[in-house]
């Protein structure tokens, strides 16, 4: 019985990878840059994204898709930025899949967008093997989660392009060991870019915006993102669904 389950999962992942490849090509041909925000539940994805949409909308045509098991809360929060936002409800699935995103944005004309943000379901493991056709995988780690998370949950950071340490305004209150956190991140992913932010106080937000704008410019100049390259192959058999 077990080998058959693994076989089915491998086929599903392969199908997802193929669709994600097509979506990545479609985004590229229409000039849409796609960041995918991943993290544990409550790390601050929606807060960061709402501020980001609000900031970028003056210069770029931005929109967002957000996945949660239930409720429309996050799409409603994101929409307060003035940017279009669509909620995907995944019921009992702990990650977004490429076809969910494809269906959600089916009514949008990609030619009218410069950036399409995806906020994944809050989970530090499940989204790892699910390519969504994104250009950039952004891993948020809140100071309230503790410094050891990169060591304990290395899979998602291994597929990320950049780490955002969020809620930096709470660092002192929770006794966040900044040096240790950076050391642990670099132990798992040597050389990865790390940006500290507070979506509440605005600390570090400009650096985050500058980083994003730089990535958009790089894509327009034809440089390939490492998001796709870092993803595990469809034959992966041990990742949780
Ligand atoms: N102090 C502080 N609180 C923050 C910051 N960012 C988010 N929060 C708070 O943290 C809580 C969770 O933030 P969300 O933005 O909902 O987190 P999320 O990652 O989108 O959560 P899920 O979508 O449920 O996984 C909320 O109460 C936010 O107001 C921050 O930079 N500083
Ligand atoms: Mg959220």
Q: What's the CA-to-centroid distance between 224 and ligand 2, angstroms?
A: 28
Q: Model-level pTM greater than 0.95?
A: no
Ligand 1 site, residue 41, Cβ cutoff 6 A: yes
Query: Which atom of ligand 1 is closest in space to residue 49's alpha carbon?
Result: 15
Q: DSSP class of residue 239?
A: S
Q: Is 2 a residue whose pLDDT tops 70?
A: no
Q: Domains in the chain and their CATH numbers?
A: 2-229 (3.40.50.300)
Ligand 1 site, residue 200, Cβ cutoff 6 A: yes
Q: Is 230 a residue whose pLDDT tops 50?
A: no
* Ligand in nearest proximity to the CA of 76: 2
Q: What is the mean pLDDT of residues 79-87?
A: 98
**DSSP string for 6-56:** HHHHHHHHHHHHHHHHHHHHHHHHHT-B-EEEE-STTSSHHHHHHHHHHHH
Ligand 1 site, residue 45, Cβ cutoff 6 A: yes
Ligand 1 site, residue 97, Cβ cutoff 6 A: no
Q: Any idea how long the chain is?
A: 241
Q: Is 239 a residue whose pLDDT tops 80?
A: no
pLDDT tens, residue by residue, 49-69: 999 999 999 999 999 999 999
Query: Which atom of ligand 1 is closest in space to residue 41's alpha carbon?
Result: 25
CA 139 – CA 137 distance, rounded (Å)? 6
pLDDT at 131: 97
Q: What's the CA-to-centroid distance between 162 and ligand 1, angstroms?
A: 19
Q: Predicted confidence band at 1 (pLDDT cuts at 50, 70, 90)?
A: low
The residues near 155 (Cβ < 8 Å, ≥ 6 apart) are 125, 128, 239
The token duo for 73 is: 């809360």
Which of 36, 38, 41, 42 most suits a substitution to test ligand 1, by most atoms within 8 Å of the C-beta? Answer: 42
Tell the residue number behind the tokens 């309230």, with chain if given: 144
Q: What is the mean pLDDT of residues 151-168?
A: 97
Q: Is 222 a residue whose pLDDT tops 90?
A: no
């Amino acid at each position: 019985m077990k080998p058959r389950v693994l076989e089915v999962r491998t086929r599903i992942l392969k199908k997802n990878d193929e669709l994600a490849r097509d979506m990545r090509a479609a985004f590229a041909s229409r000039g849409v840059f796609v960041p995918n925000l991943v993290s544990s539940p409550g790390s601050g994805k929606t807060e960061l994204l709402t501020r980001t949409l609000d900031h970028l909308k003056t210069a770029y045509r931005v929109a967002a898709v957000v996945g949660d098991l239930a409720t429309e809360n996050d799409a409603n929060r994101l929409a307060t930025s003035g940017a279009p936002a669509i909620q995907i409800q995944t019921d009992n699935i702990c990650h977004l899949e490429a076809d969910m995103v494809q269906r959600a944005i089916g009514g949008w004309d990609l030619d009218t967008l410069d950036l399409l943000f995806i906020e994944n379901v809050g989970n530090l493991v499940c989204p790892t093997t699910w390519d969504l056709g994104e250009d950039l995988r952004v891993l948020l780690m809140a100071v309230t989660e503790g410094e050891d998370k990169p060591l304990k949950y290395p899979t998602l950071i291994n597929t990320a392009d950049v780490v955002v340490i969020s809620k930096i305004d709470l660092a002192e209150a929770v006794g966040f060991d900044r040096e240790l956190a950076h050391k642990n991140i670099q132990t798992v992913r040597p050389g990865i870019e790390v940006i500290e932010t507070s979506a509440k106080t605005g600390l570090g937000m400009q650096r985050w915006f500058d980083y994003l704008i730089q990535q958009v410019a790089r894509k327009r100049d034809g440089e390939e993102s490492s998001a796709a390259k870092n993803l595990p192959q469809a034959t992966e058999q041990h990742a949780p669904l």
